[in-house]
Amino acid sequence: MALLEMNDLNKRFESEKGHTHALKDITLSVKDGEFITIIGPSGCGKSTMLKIIAGLDTDLSGSVQIEGEEVKGPSIDKGFIFQEPRLFPWYTVEKNIAANYSLHERETWKKVKELIQLVKLDGFEKAYPKELSGGMAQRAAIARALLRNPKVLLLDEPFGALDAFTRSHMQEVLLDIWQKNRTTMLFVTHDIDEAIYLGDRVVIMNARPGSIRKTVTIDLPHPRKKTSRPFQEYRQLILNEFEKTEELELLNSAGI
Protein backbone atom coordinates (compact mmCIF):
# COMPACT_ATOMS: atom_id res chain seq x y z
CA MET A 1 0.00 0.00 0.00
CA ALA A 2 1.29 3.46 -0.88
CA LEU A 3 2.11 5.92 1.88
CA LEU A 4 1.72 8.96 -0.39
CA GLU A 5 -0.62 9.30 -3.37
CA MET A 6 -0.89 12.23 -5.77
CA ASN A 7 -3.66 11.95 -8.34
CA ASP A 8 -4.23 14.35 -11.26
CA LEU A 9 -2.61 17.17 -9.32
CA ASN A 10 -2.82 20.55 -11.07
CA LYS A 11 -1.67 23.92 -9.79
CA ARG A 12 -2.20 27.34 -11.35
CA PHE A 13 -0.98 30.73 -10.15
CA GLU A 14 -3.26 33.69 -10.95
CA SER A 15 -1.97 37.24 -11.41
CA GLU A 16 -2.95 40.48 -13.14
CA LYS A 17 -1.01 39.31 -16.20
CA GLY A 18 -2.96 36.07 -16.43
CA HIS A 19 -2.37 32.59 -15.06
CA THR A 20 0.60 30.25 -14.94
CA HIS A 21 0.05 26.52 -15.13
CA ALA A 22 2.76 25.37 -12.69
CA LEU A 23 1.88 21.67 -12.34
CA LYS A 24 -0.07 19.55 -14.79
CA ASP A 25 -1.69 16.15 -14.18
CA ILE A 26 0.83 14.95 -11.57
CA THR A 27 0.13 11.36 -10.56
CA LEU A 28 2.66 9.61 -8.34
CA SER A 29 2.51 6.80 -5.78
CA VAL A 30 5.23 6.52 -3.12
CA LYS A 31 5.70 3.46 -0.91
CA ASP A 32 6.43 3.59 2.79
CA GLY A 33 10.20 3.85 3.32
CA GLU A 34 10.95 4.76 -0.30
CA PHE A 35 13.56 7.39 -1.24
CA ILE A 36 12.35 9.41 -4.24
CA THR A 37 14.53 12.01 -5.93
CA ILE A 38 12.93 14.64 -8.18
CA ILE A 39 14.84 16.41 -10.92
CA GLY A 40 13.86 18.79 -13.69
CA PRO A 41 14.49 22.21 -15.28
CA SER A 42 14.34 25.37 -13.17
CA GLY A 43 10.76 26.58 -12.77
CA CYS A 44 9.15 23.22 -13.52
CA GLY A 45 7.29 23.14 -10.19
CA LYS A 46 9.46 20.78 -8.11
CA SER A 47 9.41 23.02 -5.03
CA THR A 48 5.72 23.82 -5.55
CA MET A 49 4.94 20.10 -5.48
CA LEU A 50 6.77 19.66 -2.16
CA LYS A 51 4.90 22.62 -0.64
CA ILE A 52 1.59 21.05 -1.71
CA ILE A 53 2.53 17.71 -0.14
CA ALA A 54 3.53 19.57 3.04
CA GLY A 55 0.12 21.24 3.13
CA LEU A 56 1.61 24.71 2.73
CA ASP A 57 -0.42 25.29 -0.45
CA THR A 58 -3.96 23.88 -0.69
CA ASP A 59 -5.23 25.93 -3.66
CA LEU A 60 -5.13 23.17 -6.27
CA SER A 61 -7.12 20.61 -8.19
CA GLY A 62 -6.63 16.88 -7.86
CA SER A 63 -5.74 15.13 -4.63
CA VAL A 64 -2.83 14.47 -2.29
CA GLN A 65 -3.23 11.75 0.32
CA ILE A 66 -0.98 10.36 3.05
CA GLU A 67 -2.06 6.96 4.33
CA GLY A 68 -5.40 7.47 2.62
CA GLU A 69 -6.14 10.82 4.28
CA GLU A 70 -6.38 14.04 2.28
CA VAL A 71 -3.66 16.61 2.99
CA LYS A 72 -5.50 19.73 4.17
CA GLY A 73 -2.69 21.68 5.79
CA PRO A 74 0.64 21.47 7.63
CA SER A 75 1.11 18.79 10.30
CA ILE A 76 3.88 16.98 12.18
CA ASP A 77 3.35 14.03 9.82
CA LYS A 78 5.32 15.99 7.20
CA GLY A 79 8.84 17.27 7.81
CA PHE A 80 10.26 19.96 5.51
CA ILE A 81 13.95 20.74 4.96
CA PHE A 82 14.76 23.93 3.03
CA GLN A 83 17.95 24.88 1.19
CA GLU A 84 18.88 27.05 4.19
CA PRO A 85 18.93 25.39 7.66
CA ARG A 86 16.70 28.11 9.20
CA LEU A 87 17.98 27.54 12.73
CA PHE A 88 17.19 29.95 15.57
CA PRO A 89 20.45 31.90 16.11
CA TRP A 90 19.74 32.38 19.84
CA TYR A 91 19.35 28.62 20.48
CA THR A 92 22.05 25.98 20.88
CA VAL A 93 22.07 22.90 18.62
CA GLU A 94 20.15 20.77 21.13
CA LYS A 95 17.56 23.50 21.73
CA ASN A 96 17.16 24.06 17.98
CA ILE A 97 16.45 20.36 17.54
CA ALA A 98 13.97 20.33 20.43
CA ALA A 99 12.38 23.63 19.26
CA ASN A 100 8.99 23.86 21.01
CA TYR A 101 9.63 20.69 23.06
CA SER A 102 11.25 21.00 26.49
CA LEU A 103 14.65 19.44 27.06
CA HIS A 104 13.60 19.06 30.72
CA GLU A 105 11.31 16.24 29.63
CA ARG A 106 13.31 13.03 29.83
CA GLU A 107 11.89 11.48 26.64
CA THR A 108 12.60 14.63 24.61
CA TRP A 109 16.14 14.91 25.98
CA LYS A 110 16.78 11.22 25.23
CA LYS A 111 15.45 11.52 21.66
CA VAL A 112 17.45 14.72 21.00
CA LYS A 113 20.61 12.98 22.23
CA GLU A 114 19.95 9.99 19.92
CA LEU A 115 19.39 12.30 16.94
CA ILE A 116 22.57 14.29 17.65
CA GLN A 117 24.47 10.99 17.45
CA LEU A 118 22.55 9.96 14.32
CA VAL A 119 23.45 13.16 12.43
CA LYS A 120 27.01 13.06 13.80
CA LEU A 121 26.94 16.28 15.84
CA ASP A 122 28.33 14.78 19.04
CA GLY A 123 30.23 17.43 20.98
CA PHE A 124 28.31 20.31 19.41
CA GLU A 125 25.18 20.09 21.58
CA LYS A 126 25.87 23.49 23.20
CA ALA A 127 27.14 25.20 20.03
CA TYR A 128 25.22 28.08 18.44
CA PRO A 129 24.43 28.24 14.67
CA LYS A 130 27.15 30.87 14.07
CA GLU A 131 29.69 28.32 15.32
CA LEU A 132 28.61 25.64 12.82
CA SER A 133 29.61 24.98 9.22
CA GLY A 134 26.89 24.90 6.56
CA GLY A 135 26.79 21.10 6.56
CA MET A 136 26.59 20.92 10.36
CA ALA A 137 23.74 23.43 10.45
CA GLN A 138 21.83 21.42 7.84
CA ARG A 139 22.36 18.25 9.89
CA ALA A 140 20.81 20.02 12.88
CA ALA A 141 17.84 21.03 10.72
CA ILE A 142 17.36 17.41 9.59
CA ALA A 143 17.50 16.22 13.22
CA ARG A 144 14.87 18.82 14.17
CA ALA A 145 12.52 17.50 11.49
CA LEU A 146 13.12 13.87 12.51
CA LEU A 147 12.32 14.57 16.18
CA ARG A 148 8.64 14.85 15.19
CA ASN A 149 8.74 11.33 13.63
CA PRO A 150 7.32 12.50 10.28
CA LYS A 151 5.75 9.93 7.97
CA VAL A 152 7.41 11.70 5.05
CA LEU A 153 10.44 14.00 4.94
CA LEU A 154 10.44 16.60 2.15
CA LEU A 155 13.84 18.01 1.19
CA ASP A 156 13.99 21.00 -1.17
CA GLU A 157 17.56 21.16 -2.53
CA PRO A 158 18.98 20.90 1.01
CA PHE A 159 22.60 20.62 -0.16
CA GLY A 160 22.43 23.17 -2.99
CA ALA A 161 24.40 25.86 -1.12
CA LEU A 162 27.20 23.53 0.06
CA ASP A 163 30.62 23.04 -1.48
CA ALA A 164 31.27 19.78 -3.37
CA PHE A 165 33.15 18.05 -0.52
CA THR A 166 30.55 18.95 2.13
CA ARG A 167 27.74 18.02 -0.25
CA SER A 168 29.22 14.57 -0.80
CA HIS A 169 29.57 14.09 2.95
CA MET A 170 25.97 15.19 3.54
CA GLN A 171 24.74 12.67 0.97
CA GLU A 172 26.42 9.94 3.03
CA VAL A 173 24.91 11.29 6.26
CA LEU A 174 21.41 11.40 4.76
CA LEU A 175 21.69 7.86 3.37
CA ASP A 176 22.83 6.65 6.78
CA ILE A 177 19.80 8.31 8.40
CA TRP A 178 17.45 6.85 5.80
CA GLN A 179 18.86 3.33 6.11
CA LYS A 180 18.53 3.41 9.91
CA ASN A 181 15.10 5.09 10.15
CA ARG A 182 13.50 4.16 6.80
CA THR A 183 11.67 7.47 6.78
CA THR A 184 9.96 8.05 3.42
CA MET A 185 11.86 10.84 1.64
CA LEU A 186 11.16 13.08 -1.35
CA PHE A 187 14.30 14.96 -2.33
CA VAL A 188 14.41 17.76 -4.93
CA THR A 189 17.74 18.39 -6.65
CA HIS A 190 19.27 19.86 -9.81
CA ASP A 191 22.18 17.42 -9.62
CA ILE A 192 21.74 14.27 -11.74
CA ASP A 193 24.53 12.38 -9.95
CA GLU A 194 22.97 13.23 -6.58
CA ALA A 195 19.56 12.05 -7.77
CA ILE A 196 20.94 8.68 -8.91
CA TYR A 197 23.20 8.27 -5.89
CA LEU A 198 20.39 8.72 -3.37
CA GLY A 199 17.15 7.63 -4.98
CA ASP A 200 15.28 4.35 -5.24
CA ARG A 201 13.50 6.10 -8.11
CA VAL A 202 14.32 9.29 -9.99
CA VAL A 203 11.30 11.32 -11.09
CA ILE A 204 12.16 13.41 -14.19
CA MET A 205 9.95 16.44 -14.77
CA ASN A 206 9.18 18.40 -17.92
CA ALA A 207 9.48 22.17 -18.07
CA ARG A 208 6.44 24.33 -17.28
CA PRO A 209 3.77 23.31 -17.03
CA GLY A 210 5.53 20.84 -14.75
CA SER A 211 4.59 17.25 -15.46
CA ILE A 212 6.23 13.90 -14.90
CA ARG A 213 8.10 12.89 -18.03
CA LYS A 214 9.56 9.62 -16.79
CA THR A 215 10.25 7.70 -13.59
CA VAL A 216 13.50 5.72 -13.54
CA THR A 217 14.02 2.92 -11.00
CA ILE A 218 17.65 2.82 -9.86
CA ASP A 219 18.44 -0.86 -9.49
CA LEU A 220 21.82 -0.45 -7.78
CA PRO A 221 22.75 -1.48 -4.22
CA HIS A 222 24.13 1.01 -1.70
CA PRO A 223 26.81 2.25 -1.44
CA ARG A 224 26.82 3.34 -5.08
CA LYS A 225 29.98 4.20 -6.95
CA LYS A 226 29.49 7.26 -9.16
CA THR A 227 32.26 6.23 -11.54
CA SER A 228 30.91 2.70 -12.10
CA ARG A 229 29.59 1.69 -15.50
CA PRO A 230 26.00 0.97 -14.35
CA PHE A 231 25.86 4.38 -12.60
CA GLN A 232 27.06 6.16 -15.73
CA GLU A 233 24.51 4.28 -17.84
CA TYR A 234 21.71 5.61 -15.61
CA ARG A 235 23.26 9.07 -15.89
CA GLN A 236 23.22 8.91 -19.70
CA LEU A 237 19.63 7.67 -19.72
CA ILE A 238 18.50 10.65 -17.61
CA LEU A 239 20.58 13.10 -19.66
CA ASN A 240 18.86 11.80 -22.80
CA GLU A 241 15.47 12.51 -21.22
CA PHE A 242 16.59 16.07 -20.42
CA GLU A 243 17.59 16.58 -24.05
CA LYS A 244 14.10 15.45 -25.14
CA THR A 245 12.57 17.85 -22.60
CA GLU A 246 14.61 20.76 -23.99
CA GLU A 247 13.54 19.88 -27.56
CA LEU A 248 9.89 19.78 -26.46
CA GLU A 249 10.23 23.17 -24.73
CA LEU A 250 11.67 24.71 -27.89
CA LEU A 251 8.81 23.31 -29.97
CA ASN A 252 6.23 24.64 -27.48
CA SER A 253 7.81 28.10 -27.40
CA ALA A 254 7.75 28.14 -31.20
CA GLY A 255 4.09 27.18 -31.20
CA ILE A 256 4.71 23.91 -33.07
Question: Rg of the Cα trace of the chain?
Answer: 19
Confidence bin at 248 (pLDDT 50/70/90): low
- pLDDT score of 57 more than 50: yes
Between residues 208 and 78, the one the model is more confident about: 78
Q: In the predicted model, is pLDDT for residue 252 greater than 80?
A: no
Q: What is the mean pLDDT of residues 189-211?
A: 94
Helix 134-147 to helix 164-181 angle (10° resolution) is 20
Residue 245: its pLDDT value, please? 67
* pLDDT for residue 169 is more than 70: yes
**What's the fold here for domain 2-77+150-253?**
Rossmann fold (3.40.50)
The domain spans of the chain are 2-77+150-253
Alpha helices in the chain (DSSP H): 46-54, 93-98, 106-118, 134-147, 164-181, 192-198, 229-253
Q: What pLDDT, on the 0 to 100 scale, is given for residue 251?
A: 45
The reported pTM is: 0.92
Count Cβ atoms below 10 Å from residue 57 Cβ, excluding itself.
Answer: 16
Res 85: pLDDT? 92
Average pLDDT over residues 136-146: 95
C-alpha closest to that of 224 among 196, 192, 186, 190: 196
Rounded Cα distance between 176 and 76, Å, is 22
**C-alpha to C-alpha distance for 100 and 112, rounded to whole angstroms:** 12
